[in-house]
Structure 1
Amino acid sequence: MRARTSFLVDDQIEFGAVRDTILASWTRSREWDIDTDNVELSGEFDLEPDSPLVRAAAPIVADVADQFAGEPVSVILTDADGVVLERRSGDTALNQHLDKVWLAPGFSYAERFIGTNGIGTALEGRGPAQVFGHEHYVEPLADLACAGAPIWHPTSGKLLGVVDLTCWRRDAGRFMAVAVARIARQIEGALLEQSGPRELALLHDYLSACQRARGAVFAVSPGVVMMNDRARELIDPMDQVALIAGATEAMNSGQRLMMIDLPSGAVARVQCKPSWTDRGTTGGVLHVHLAAPDIPRPRTHAAPTTSSQAAAVGSGMLWTKCRQAVDRHFQNREWLVLEGEAGTGKATLARATHQCRTPAAHLRVLDSDEYSPRWVAEIIEELETGAGGTLVLTHVDRLPPEGVQALADALEPHRESTDHERMWVVATVGPGGLTAGDNVPDLLEFFPRTVEVPPLRHRVEDLAELVPQLLARLTRGSDLTCSPDAMRVLMRNRWPGNVEQLYQVLRKAVARRRAGVLTAEDLPPECRAITRRVLTPLEAIECDAIVDALLDNDGNKAEAARHLGMSRATIYRKIRGYGISMPGVEAGRRG
């Protein structure tokens, strides 16, 4: 208790006063801004009363509860989000207290909602967790002791939930950790017995392939991924995600042999052998062989000359995949549309590709906002004289109808050329792409390929490279670095203005501090509206969809949920989880 008070009040703690796992959980709880004095939870979560986990665990939980019938112990089952699915206890006083602190079905005991506890800490640590008395971050839980153990799917290895034993602090004993681990193993055994013939067939085919093959082997199906040791050694986690996603999509479409570009730059040759096919979804075994990387990396020795040029920096999966696609079209001299939000670096990406491949060749960038007869004449001149070079036409979607017609007339004589040295033409457009109106040519006929450039909020991992580049530009090489706390603030921002907004934020920060270490206090107020945590690319995309639906429906959450095809409880949970706020009647972003 004294250690907890010292941590909360003085932000320091005597070495060895608490266990490392508890201190780590306290630190996470503080970053989530958990209220230490009150328990405030919402029950807006979906329950799956007939999920495989519930079916497997129900008889085991009931049996354990019968064994503890005469003891003040509660047996609790949660899903992977910490949402309580079932609670069994024969002790009236304990049940009343658990209801008081909302440790009841329909409420989540994930750390991000309630701080350190046996359920949430087991989920965060991906392992057994014991929390006693004042080790709980929230004071109303100090009278309790709990031990939680994660439940893993026996074939896919997916984390399904937690089984937890909770009792009064005075009644806690070492038996809890041993007992809860045994219960978790029993539930996993029941899950294995419930595995259907598809999973067993996939497991059989995977094991047979591993015995015969010397290379990387994967087994994939909806909800199941397995890989051998060779796959783990040869293919890094980022490449694994891209490979599995690409192979699954291809396999569902009937492909059995494919080449997949990986974020690292390598190319994977994948042979698929289905184990089963069911209503358009397929499970099977992948044999993977890697080819050497063929795509050169952007040059890093030259400092950027403009704020937007730093947008070419990044090694995250989405950005690397986008860059690889653009490079492939460049090598084939295929005219290309780059689509994305303002400030994402569309034109910069085209310039970077040109400079990586043909730095000595001619490069010209023309802005469609400057449309005039002279602008059209310059395009015609570039197409006729710029063999082997690159022409970038920005903001093409802003052209008036007569401008679209003039551009089509200028491009027409050159679009059918098969000369490998013909000029590479890139058009940049905003979200929504190119559309054809009445009596207006469809420019997509001239640009057969489109690559979507991801917004910065979908690739926040690239900030670790972007921020130093921009700081070097803004300080003209002065020794100014970004502190970890400032980087955390930047990574939690939503960046609706993308790299340009990041540049402006750093410019204001540099005005306060020109050298040394940039701290969170140096950042302008506009970047303090942040999400609770750094979102994954998929979470960022989902968050965007929810915000758009709320905006389209004037903040009506029920209508937004119907529009997205999710339940009302789900959208409430996700709004809270992503930190989306609704000022007044208008829907908005919290960050």
Structure 2
Amino acid sequence: MDHPDERVVDLSASLRAAYDRRTGSTRPGQVRNIPDPGSEQLARARTSFLVDEEVEPGVVREPILASWTRSRHYDVDAERLELPYDSDISMDSVLTRAAGPIIREVADQLISEPVSLILTDSDGVVLDRRSGDGGLTHHLDRIWLAPGFSYAERYVGTNGIGTALEGRGPAQVFGHEHYAEHLEDLACAGAPIRHPVSGKVMGVVDLTCWRSDANMMMTAIASTVAKRIEETLLEQSGRRELALLHDYLIACQRGRGAVFALSDDLLMMNDRARELFDPSDQGPLLAEAGEALKAGQRHQVLVDLPSGNTARIQLRPSWTEGNRAGGIAQVQLITNGAVPTPRSTAATPTLPAAVGSGALWAKCCQAVDRHFRAREWLVLEGEPGTGKTTIARATHQGRTPAAHLRVLDAEDAGPRWFADVAEELQTGGGTLVLAHVDRLDAEGVQALCDVLDEHRDTTDPERPWVVATVTAGTGSPEHLGELLAHFPSTVEVPPLRHHVEDVSELVPYLIARLTRGAELTCSPEAMRVLMRNRWPGNIEQLYQVLRKVVARRRTGIVSPADLPAECRAITRRVLTPLEAIECDAIVDALLDASGNKAEAARHLGMSRATIYRKIRGYGISMPTTG
């Protein structure tokens, strides 16, 4: 549909009329401008909010104030934009096919206006951007409001795109209402696009212009364009959804097992599926089934679930179009080949020394355990300090506590190290953990490959179970390819920030280990401080923090005052030694000043503006008294 839709003759005229009817305007064509979006009063209110001072009532609209609060919770940097970029955005999706012709048509009608028309996906990633104003386009490039970049609130703070996604409704943000200062010269209005069958928010239509050109018509235009896209989605989805519904009903009639019907836009399940799978299991199961359906053919997959069970999924596509598919998943629960009795709350098997019951951690432990039972050599990949070696040890001890276990760290690689690896492989049985193999140089990798080659393809059930650990996030060096080929599977160990709920279990366990059973417990207030931290250094960082606590207090109750200063900083990365010293000094000064930032700044010899900026940059959370 590349030609203008016959239903829309004059976009600007029809939208203006609709707006006048909605607002009660008595003069046709009149556009009511918004209050000055660059007002000094609003700018002062934003500054007060950013420095934790009281905001004057009535100055900031309630939706904006709520968005500012969310932005602070997300720890958005108001002074610097840090946006994720997706270099592989799909321009062949349900949304883009429905929206493309409409976006082109509307952009043509607005070509003479100083406004940019933007389409994003449900994560706020810009898919398309149209504008006839060169100056505005250049400015949007500078602030990365361009295809591939995400303008979700958690990255940018208050803005038309992210705030529409968070509020699931139209959002308009003008001038200093933006959380990030780099956006204060702009005005934007976004409207969410919902799938007409499932109601799922699929993306946002946004209009962005200079704040001096802003008016309330922007929201009406965005909402109307979003509505047209939804109508097109309804027309396109009918055939596929009917095919999926037909196959779902037949599958339910033919068997009594668990049946799921799923596509990008729709999910159905029968009563048996609800009985067998609680919500924590449904997520990973459906994610795996959705990916597997894209193969476009009937087949079977096995999925390890957070509950500790394994699911066997029989897949049958109902339709496939490019990289999208919908179909039926018939699921059985299996454990060691036997069908278990369904349980509404399945207990996760606890591995010794691998503490935690969060869904991601439990799923990881279950996957490692499954490879151990099959004696399949395995790579454990994760950030430093996530517990890769701990999981390998715990799996070994949980299954074969009396068997031999050896951990060899590649940091110590040398002639003797390689001889020890060869000896462990020849002796047979037990478990061998090769830690940090990504730190081997090319010569070391080749030497290790030569040692492993002899035992790579043996079917001897007594051969040792070999686990290699590598660090995630830096990319595997090219020379590791031959070595990693010796290990058929890789399991990712999640960072602590992705299962932070396990901090409440890790803290008492680690304290008991550090105090050797002494009576030391963590207060609820201190636990809340620990659980707010992002732990960029993962479990190892938590261990070191608690070691400092235990050095000061051996018995009693740990209070927030007993925690090291670094616990007050909610950072996204591990601080450099110099940054850690500075952060600790700021926290100590704030504690001495009872949270008074001005007094802390005076004590440290820095300006009030500087301490506010550093508090925000380090993510320091402190009570305030003035």
TM-score (norm 2): 0.58
Alignment of structure 1 residues 190-205 onto 2, 5 Å: 190-195=232-237, 201-202=243-244, 204-205=246-247
Asked if 2 retains the 8 angstrom alpha-carbon contact of 1:485 and 1:519, the reply is: no
Gaps of 5+ in 1: 303-308, 384-389, 533-578, 580-591
Check if 1:429 corresponds to 2:468: yes
Alignment CA distance shift 1:403-1:358 (3 Å): closer
Q: Does 1:507 align with 2:547?
A: yes
Q: 1:241 to 1:184 in 2, by over 3 A?
A: same
In 2 relative to 1, CA 260–143 (structure 1 residues): closer, same or farther, beyond 3 Å? closer
Counterpart in 1 of 2:591? none
- 1:584 is aligned to none
Cα distance, 1:189 vs structure 2: 0.8
Q: SS at the partner of 2:179?
A: coil
Select the residue among 242, 247, 261 that pairs with 2:304: 261
State the partner residue of 1:460.
Answer: 497
Aligned residue for 2:65, secondary structure, equals helix
Relative distance call for 1:32 and 1:379 in structure 2 (3 A) is: closer
**Who is 1:226 aligned against?**
267
> d(CA) in 2 for partners of 1:202 and 1:83?
30
Could you tell me how far apart the structure 2 residues matched to 1:224 and 1:171 are?
Answer: 34
Sort the Cα spacing of 1:85 and 1:350 in 2 relative to 1 into closer, same or farther, 3 A: closer
Q: Which residue of 1 aligns with 2:50?
A: 8
1:347/1:392 contact within 8 Å kept: no
CA contact (8 A) 1:335 1:424 kept: no
Matched, 1:349 2:394: no
Is 1:22 equivalent to 2:57 in the alignment?
Answer: no
* Whole-angstrom CA distance in 1 between matches of 2:421 and 2:91: 65
Aligned residues: 486
CA-to-aligned-CA distance 1:157-188 (integer Å, 9 cap, x gap): 66443224568799856x87666444422211
Aligned partners of 1:337 and 1:150: how far apart in 2? 44
Question: Map of 1:62-461 to 2, 5 A cutoff?
Answer: 76-80=117-121, 81=124, 83=126, 85-86=128-129, 106=146, 110-111=152-153, 114-131=156-173, 135-137=177-179, 147-154=189-196, 159-164=201-206, 180-195=222-237, 201-202=243-244, 204-206=246-248, 216-220=258-262, 223-224=264-265, 226-228=267-269, 230=271, 235-248=277-290, 250-251=292-293, 252=295, 254-276=297-319, 283-290=326-333, 292=340, 297-299=348-350, 309=353, 312-331=354-373, 334=375, 336-340=377-381, 344-357=386-399, 361-362=402-403, 364-365=405-406, 367=408, 390-392=430-432, 394=434, 425-431=464-470, 451-457=489-495, 460-461=497-498
Tell me if structure 2 keeps the 8 A contact 1:132–1:169.
no
Distance verdict in 2 for CA 1:213–1:86, change over 3 Å: farther
Q: For 2:368, what is the secondary structure of its paired residue?
A: helix
Deviations 1:337-381 (A, max 9, x none): 45446755444324423444566x455446486769999889888
The one-letter code sitting in structure 1 at the alignment partner of 2:362 is T
Does the 8 Å CA contact 1:154/1:189 hold for their aligned counterparts? yes
Q: 1:523 to 1:277 in 2, by over 3 A?
A: same
CA root-mean-square deviation: 5.8
* Residue equivalent to 2:559: 516
Query: Within 1, Cα distance between the matches of 2:102 and 2:167?
Result: 22
Distance of 2:468 and 2:85 partners within structure 1: 43
> Where do residues 476-495 of structure 1 align in structure 2 (5 Å cutoff)?
478-480=520-522, 482=526, 484=528, 487-491=531-535, 493=536, 495=537
Aligned runs of 1:571-586 on 2, under 5 Å? none
TM-score (norm 1): 0.60
> Given the superposition, is the C-alpha separation of residues 198 and 475 from structure 1 closer, same or farther in structure 2, using an over 3 Å criterion?
same
Shift of 1:105: 7.2
The CA distance in 1 between the partners of 2:138 and 2:108, in whole Å, is: 22
Per the TM alignment, residue 240 of structure 1 is displaced from its structure 2 partner at its CA by: 3.0
Q: Is 1:32 matched with 2:70?
A: no
Show CA shifts across 1:309-343 (max 9, x none): 4xx223455543332233334445x3644544675
Distance 1:163 1:372 in 2: 59
Say if 1:118 and 1:266 are closer, same or farther in 2 by CA, change over 3 A.
same
Structure 2 residue runs of 5 or longer lacking an equivalent are 1-41, 335-339, 471-475, 576-616, 618-626
Quote the Cα distance in structure 1 between the aligned partners of 2:299 and 2:207.
48
Shift of 1:119: 2.3
Task: Quote the Cα distance in structure 2 between the aligned partners of 1:290 and 1:97.
Answer: 56
Q: Distance in 2 between matches of 1:181 and 1:57?
A: 13
Q: Is the 8 A contact 1:122 1:149 kept in 2?
A: yes
Q: Tell me if structure 1 keeps the 8 A contact 2:368–2:491.
A: no
| Structure 1, 103-112 or 241-250: larger mean CA deviation | 103-112
Secondary structure of 2:534 counterpart: helix
Alpha carbons 1:128, 1:181 under 8 Å: kept? yes
The Cα of 1:82 is off from its aligned counterpart by 5.4
**Could you say if the C-alpha distance between residues 3 and 157 of structure 1 is closer, same or farther in structure 2, counting changes exceeding 3 Å?**
same
Cα 1:48–1:256, aligned 2, differ >3 Å: closer, same or farther?
Answer: closer
Distance 1:371 1:380 in 2: 14
CA deviation string 1:424-455 (max 9, x = no partner): 8332323389x9999xxx9999xxx7553424
- % identical equivalent positions: 42
Would you say the 8 A contact 2:532–2:570 is kept in 1?
Answer: no
Structure 1 pair 507/59, CA: closer, same or farther in 2 (3 Å)?
same
Report the 3-state secondary structure (helix = DSSP H, G, I; strand = E; otherwise coil) of the residue aligned with 2:307: coil
Secondary structure of the residue aligned to 1:137 is coil
Rounded Cα–Cα distance in structure 2 between residues aligned with 1:119 and 1:366: 50
